[in-house]
Every structure is written in C-alpha cells, then in structure tokens.
Chain A
C-alpha cells in the first residue's frame, strides 16, 4: 500500500498523443474540485513521436515547484518509460498494462489501450488516464464529466459522449484501486480555491503586457518565447493591438522601436538566438533613448542548443548585448504573479526612463503554472510619459535627471528628430566631442533615481544567516521548498527579480551571511560573477544545473545539505 501526502503524477507519451490535453483537463478539473495543483511539461523539439511528459503535483496546500519524485506514473506508451527511468523510484506506482509496459514493479494493471479500443478508438487512452487520476483522487465525478463536456463542446455529440464515457471508464479503475486500499491518497480539498486562476508564465507575461498598455508586438517565432506572441495575437479581436510576425528578429526589434517612436507601447518576444540578432536594435534603443520591452525566454545555448529545454544562460547576453554603453533594466520574474505585474510595470519603466527593459524568463517559467488567487489589471498604475511638443521642441534637451521630455510625431507643433548617430539636443548628427560627452553623460544618468520606488529583493529567514542562498528568476519556488525541506533555521534566502541595475543593498545583505551559496541554471554562475563585479563579493559556493532540465526541489536539497 502507498500512503502519500501531496503527490506528483507524471503522464508521458509521444508528441501528438494528447499529453497536453490530459494536462489541461486534469489540472482544471482538480483545481475546480478544490485541489492545489502545479504543472510543468517537458517536450522534445519535434511535432510527432519522441517522449514528452507532464508533471502534475496535487496537494492540500499550495505547490509551486518541480520535483524529481514520481508518485504515480501513467505512461501512454513504452518509450516514455525509458526516458523517465532515472526518476522512477521504489515508491512509484505505475499505471498501465503489461502489453506495452512489460514486467515492471508496482504496476497497477489497467489495460488503457484495450479499454480505449472498446470505446471505438485508441485515441481515448489519454482521457481514460484523466479518469483514472480523478478516480484515485476521489474527484467529484459530475464535475469531471461536465468539464469534459464543455472542453469538447465544439466536437460532434458522439465524440463528446465517447469522451465522457472514457472519463467514467477510467474513473472506475481509479476508484477501485482506492476502494480496495491499493492506494490511499490523503489530500484534502479546499473550496476557497475553486475560483483560482491557472495560467502559465507565457500567458501571464502577455496579460501583464496588455495590463501595461501594450498595443504593438512584432516578433519572429522561436521556442520557448512564441507563447507570448501567440497569446497577444489572439487578443487582437478584443483589444487594440497590432501584432506582426516579422521576417526576422532584426525587423521585429526595429518595428517595435518605430512603434514606440510613433506613440505605441511595443514589445518583442524572443529567445537567445533571436535576441542576439536584436542586439544592434537594442543598442539603437539606447542611443535614440527609445523605450522598448523585450521578452527574452531563455533556452540552453550556445547556438540552437536545446530548443525546448530550460536554462538561465543568457543573463550575460541581456547585460552586455548591444554595442556601446547605455542604460537598461533587466527583470526576471520569480512567480506567475510577477510575470504579470512586473511585465505590466516594465512598460511604465521603459516609458519613464526611456530605456530598454528586458524581461528574462526561461522555458520552465513559460510552460509552468499553479493556481493563484487573482491578478488585478489595475493594481499597477500606468503612467504615460510623452508630451505635446511646442514649436521649439528638442528631443534631447539636457536635463538634470538625464531624461529629456519625449515627444511623438503628430502631437504638437514640434518636430521629433531621433538619430542613431551621436546627436545634439535637436537630434541632429554631430561629431562635436563636447556634445558627445554631454549626451553620453545625460543618457548614463537616467537610471540614477531608479531605486526610489523599486522593491528590495525578496528576503526570507534570519538577517545574519549561517548560509545565505542567492537565487534569481525561475528558481524561486524550488529554492523555497528545498529550504523548507532541509528545515535548518540558519539558512536564509535572498531572491532577485530585478537583476539590473543591481539593488544597492546587495553588498550589505551578502556581507551579513557567513556563507553565500548561489543557485543558477547555468554552467558559469553568471549572476554570481555579475554580483562580484558590482560588489566585489565572491560567492562561497555554487549550485549549478545546466542539463536543460529545471532545478528540482531534490536537486537543491541534496546540494544544500552538502554546503551547510
């Protein structure tokens, strides 16, 4: 008998076998029934075949991080088993049938394929799998059936009823296992979360963008950043947004700059290779002092790397990409809520400081989700920063803050002249060395006042800790859960969502710790090296992962125990 509190279910199959449908159905049904859920997927860079899987954690309390452990594994075909081998433990219950799984330990025999064929087609296998999970978790059967009906509402009646039947068939098998005490899942439901939201990081970014007034997106498809382009393109019916698939990333960034120049709030979304192509445009934004929001969804490089996997390997690119010296802001959301609110805020920051704002996410952030209570599109107050120009308007007037009032063409009597050459206050090309220095100094002091209103990095635990864990971006929840599991009061955690400019409190925070351990999904500790460059402080130890998989809670627990 397996006695489990808070479980992880992994469903696996080939691309095209409907694993995504399973994930969607199961997480929604479970959440609507009052379970806390977390889901993340991993998939190959192909459209059919291969081995893809999705992890769904179900719990009585909020769960927000990826774990290696698999409590229940439902492989829809044989290949999946091989790939997941390292994660299958003595406690893993495997659900499926011997016909394709062969002789495995802890098998809950359910002839999924046969049952599906009995319903008329093998394709119902995945829905049967959903039913099995619902049965095991004692989900409200009517709720599950209703959900399936709505989910397939566009299909023929026959198909709808077959899918409902598939849920019932699976449900019965799952419930039998429960009734016969083969498994016991002690997870309580919480009615208060039924109205919670389920949306992945990519969707949260795009909703944050529209909350921030984004009305123009130009991009070129590249995994894992495309989700944001797709999501914004699909909102052009309801919202005033121009969405354009550019011929290349160079065009995309230049379009975004043209759009800002003419008064839009524009963004681009891309991944490492595309961002590399955009760096000339990024530098242009620096020179013409154009706001722009750039979403960089990281995947492992160099070059094409692992297109559908995750890494935090492009921080150095975001920090240093683009020739010449100019200010920029780099943000790395740590939670789904931050994907939304910080993206919203990015548009205001870009507009206020007239700088590029880079939002650094990764495949893991883009493809993961968990239930959150709400998102408020009016919480961040949007501020607009362009002015009506007068006849004597000069785009690059020298000011104390370095920020020159930004006009847009067609609003006011002034002419708006921007130039990628070094320019004078009017925006005209110049080779005057004094003017050059004045304009450089003007640009470089724009972010001096940046931290006035900005939040401090998130801090958990003792202020003078034995061990301070430093993290940034997507590793947040895995670090939180790992520290909780280790349960050592002397460990504290500081987490950065605003990476650059680096918060001025950083030196003090790090100096108070006996030992500083940094966690990063890359091979060379890019954030650690950046902190050292900015503060002179060298981290004492690194916990790094660059296989292309996300950090699991177990990864961090294991390494933390070695370090304390």
Chain B
C-alpha cells in the first residue's frame, strides 16, 4: 500500500499552522501503508477535540463519538468484529480527563486496540485550558495562578495496571514514531501510545524545542518485560523516555469471549439465534 491510498483529497483541515497533528496524520498513514492495512479494514474511533478530528482527514471507517468515550466504543467494535483493525485516537483531555475511567478499565479489559493519545498537554479545541498532563505552574485563562495539580502520568498508570503495551512517541521524529505505532498496531492486546505533540497556539511551554531538549530514546537493551524498571523510567518527568517501555503478553478481551471459542466469524455474519435453543430456554420455565 502507498501513503496516498489514505488520502481523501481536498479537505478543509481545522488544525492550526505548525500543529503536531499534521505530523501525526502522516505517521498514521505511513504506519498503515507499511503494514498493508486497507482503509476499509480499519476503524478509527475518536472523541472530541482537535486530535479527534483526525479520522475525518484520511480514508478509513470512523466512529467520531463523544468527548472521552472512544475506548468503550472501540472495545465493543473490536469485540463485535475482531477482524477489524481498531484504533482509538484522541487527545490527552479526551482520554485522560473526560475518559479517565475508561482509560483505566480499557487497560484492564485488554482489547486488541491501538490507543493513540495526542498528548499536547493542553485543551486545544476549547482554546487553551489545562489538561490532565499540563505541567505544574502553566498559566492559562482558567488556571490563572498556574496549574497546581499534580500532572497525570499515563505511563505509570498504564504500567501499574499491567497494560499489555506501553509506549511514548514524539511526533517530531516521524521515522521513530512510525516504528512505535506500527509495533503497537501489530501488538495483540491493548497498546497505549502517548504521542507527544506541540500545540503552537496554546502551549508555550512544551514547544518543539522543549521536546527536543527534554526527551531521549530508550537504549536497545531496555528490557521491556521488566515492569519495575519500566515503572521507574516512566516516573521520570525531567527527561521523558521515548520508545516502548513495557510489554506484557496477555489474552485479549475479545479472545476470551465465549462467542469466539469455537469460531471467529464476526457477529454480524452469524444468523439469528437458533429457534430450537430459544424454545428450550423458554421451556425451562415450565418448572
């Protein structure tokens, strides 16, 4: 497949000049193309925010649902039709704020998804309020004296919950980001990619320059099965580690459903429930 196969032609994109989302959409297209996934086999599920508009700008099936709710929707789509490649794709506010509970329980369920979080450490669409990942002290029109809340750490949270794949990427490094995203898509089970992204319009702290200076790539010998080590790396907020921090093979949510114990056919392809079985179930109520 070619990157162009995901182009939808002339469309009015709602992103600001210099926005990290332009890089992220390229990273996504390249990853899908290199993995030979056809547009009709992939479903993007997004919430609301600037990040969440991404599925509108490429050729794919999409469910652009409510703010914060992409993970439950994506989980159900994958469970209903495991043949689809499902990507939950939204912003940091969407996933870690409004959807925080789904983030936690999505990890516990372990559906085979890529959970891609555009982490610009700000609420972009609503014009620059603090997000759960905003750094302490960041002044916004709402956080007038600067953020006083401890920043939410998605990576330590995911590792603490024994997530099956935990990674951090930076959209300014496309090649490396593509490698991480591809691996996350191929990974069987829930895969978090926290994608660091500058927001030139509202986040004056976490700029392209800041990311360059405050991130580093994990060494090749990093042992991703070592949970304590991964946790330790993830706690470091002075220097943000990039790469795959932690992986853990686990049975998937859909893989453990009774409906797939005998056959893999998606639910829509199966007929109605067998009337004789239904009659038997009803008959049980005779005594």
B-side contacts of A280, CB under 8 Å: 66
> 1/0 per residue A260-285: CB within 8 Å of B?
01111010000000000000110010
Give the nearest-CB partner of B109 in chain A: A244
> 1/0 per residue B59-102: CB within 8 Å of A?
11111111001001111110111011000000000000000011
Given contacts A242-B80, A377-B275, A414-B40, contact A258 B72 (CB under 8 A): yes
A-side contacts of B60, CB under 8 Å: 415
Contacting pair B62 A418 (CB below 8 A): yes
Contacting pair B268 A386 (CB below 8 A): yes
A-side contacts of B65, CB under 8 Å: 254, 257, 284, 288, 418, 420
A-side contacts of B79, CB under 8 Å: 216, 242, 244, 259
Size class of the contact patch on chain A? 35 or more
Contacting pair A281 B66 (CB below 8 A): yes
B-side contacts of A261, CB under 8 Å: 63, 73, 77
Stretch in A3-11, A65-73, A196-204, A448-456 with 4+ CB within 8 Å of B = A196-204
Give the nearest-CB partner of B79 in chain A: A242
Contacting pair A408 B275 (CB below 8 A): no
A-side contacts of B270, CB under 8 Å: 215, 240
Q: How far is the CA of A213 from the CA of B72 in the complex (A)?
A: 22
Contacting pair B258 A237 (CB below 8 A): yes
Contacting pair A259 B40 (CB below 8 A): no
Contacting pair A215 B40 (CB below 8 A): no
Considering only residues 231-287 of chain B, those with a C-beta below 8 Å from chain A are: 257-259, 266-270, 272-275, 277-282, 285-287
Give the nearest-CB partner of B76 in chain A: A258
Contacting pair B80 A257 (CB below 8 A): no
> 1/0 per residue A186-207: CB within 8 Å of B?
0000000001111100010001
B-side contacts of A416, CB under 8 Å: 61
Which one of B76, B101, B281, B285 contacts A255 once the chains associate, using CB atoms below 8 Å? B76
Give the nearest-CB partner of A246 in chain B: B72
A-side contacts of B272, CB under 8 Å: 213, 382
Contacting pair B76 A256 (CB below 8 A): yes
Given contacts A238-B277, A429-B56, contact A247 B73 (CB under 8 A): no
Which one of A196, A247, A413 contacts B286 once the chains associate, using CB atoms below 8 Å? A196
Contacting pair A411 B268 (CB below 8 A): yes
B-side contacts of A410, CB under 8 Å: 40-41, 61, 81, 83-84, 266
**Which of A210, A284, A375, A415: most chain B CB closer than 10 A?**
A415
A-side contacts of B286, CB under 8 Å: 195-198
Given contacts A240-B267, A241-B259, contact A216 B76 (CB under 8 A): yes
B-side contacts of A421, CB under 8 Å: 48, 64
Size class of the contact patch on chain B? 35 or more
Q: Would you call B212 an interface residue if the criterion is a C-beta within 8 Å of the partner chain's C-beta atoms?
A: no
Q: Would you call A459 an interface residue if the criterion is a C-beta within 8 Å of the partner chain's C-beta atoms?
A: no
Contacting pair A258 B45 (CB below 8 A): yes
Q: Would you call B227 an interface residue if the criterion is a C-beta within 8 Å of the partner chain's C-beta atoms?
A: no
Q: Would you call B53 an interface residue if the criterion is a C-beta within 8 Å of the partner chain's C-beta atoms?
A: yes
Q: How far is the CA of A428 from the CA of B12 in the complex (A)?
A: 11
Q: Would you call A417 an interface residue if the criterion is a C-beta within 8 Å of the partner chain's C-beta atoms?
A: yes
Q: Would you call B105 an interface residue if the criterion is a C-beta within 8 Å of the partner chain's C-beta atoms?
A: yes
Q: Would you call A239 an interface residue if the criterion is a C-beta within 8 Å of the partner chain's C-beta atoms?
A: yes
Q: Would you call A250 an interface residue if the criterion is a C-beta within 8 Å of the partner chain's C-beta atoms?
A: yes
Q: Would you call B177 an interface residue if the criterion is a C-beta within 8 Å of the partner chain's C-beta atoms?
A: no
Contacting pair B80 A262 (CB below 8 A): yes
Which one of A199, A262, A409, A428 contacts B40 once the chains associate, using CB atoms below 8 Å? A409
Q: Give min CB distance, B81 to chain A, whole Å.
A: 5
Contacting pair B281 A238 (CB below 8 A): yes
Interface SS of chain B:
helix
Q: Would you call B39 an interface residue if the criterion is a C-beta within 8 Å of the partner chain's C-beta atoms?
A: yes
Contacting pair B278 A262 (CB below 8 A): no
Give the nearest-CB partner of B253 in chain A: A244
A-side contacts of B73, CB under 8 Å: 254-255, 257-258, 261
Q: Would you call A438 an interface residue if the criterion is a C-beta within 8 Å of the partner chain's C-beta atoms?
A: no
- Chain B positions within 8 Å of A, measured between CB atoms, are 11, 14, 39-41, 43, 45, 48, 53, 55-56, 59-66, 69, 72-77, 79-81, 83-84, 101-102, 104-105, 257-259, 266-270, 272-275, 277-282, 285-287
Give the nearest-CB partner of B265 in chain A: A240
A-side contacts of B279, CB under 8 Å: 377
B-side contacts of A409, CB under 8 Å: 40, 43, 61, 77, 81, 84
Which one of A28, A240, A248, A417 contacts B273 once the chains associate, using CB atoms below 8 Å? A240
B-side contacts of A218, CB under 8 Å: 72, 76
Which one of B61, B83, B105, B257 contacts A417 once the chains associate, using CB atoms below 8 Å? B61
Contacting pair B39 A415 (CB below 8 A): yes
Q: How far is the CA of A240 from the CA of B236 in the complex (A)?
A: 46
Contacting pair B268 A420 (CB below 8 A): no
Contacting pair B76 A259 (CB below 8 A): yes
Q: How far is the CA of A251 from the CA of B75 in the complex (A)?
A: 10
Which one of A216, A258, A266, A428 contacts B74 once the chains associate, using CB atoms below 8 Å? A258
Contacting pair B281 A262 (CB below 8 A): no
Which one of B11, B59, B280, B285 contacts A415 once the chains associate, using CB atoms below 8 Å? B59
Q: Give min CB distance, A388 to chain B, whole Å.
A: 11
Q: Would you call A530 an interface residue if the criterion is a C-beta within 8 Å of the partner chain's C-beta atoms?
A: no
Q: How far is the CA of A382 from the CA of B278 in the complex (A)?
A: 14
Contacting pair A262 B66 (CB below 8 A): no
B-side contacts of A149, CB under 8 Å: none
Contacting pair B76 A266 (CB below 8 A): yes
Contacting pair A251 B101 (CB below 8 A): yes
Contacting pair B69 A250 (CB below 8 A): yes
Q: How far is the CA of A211 from the CA of B60 in the complex (A)?
A: 34
Q: How far is the CA of A280 from the CA of B98 in the complex (A)?
A: 13
Q: How far is the CA of A147 from the CA of B75 in the complex (A)?
A: 45
Q: How far is the CA of A242 from the CA of B275 in the complex (A)?
A: 18
Given A239-B273, A417-B56, 11 other A-B contacts at CB below 8 A?
A213-B272, A236-B258, A247-B102, A248-B101, A251-B101, A255-B75, A258-B63, A281-B69, A288-B63, A377-B275, A377-B279
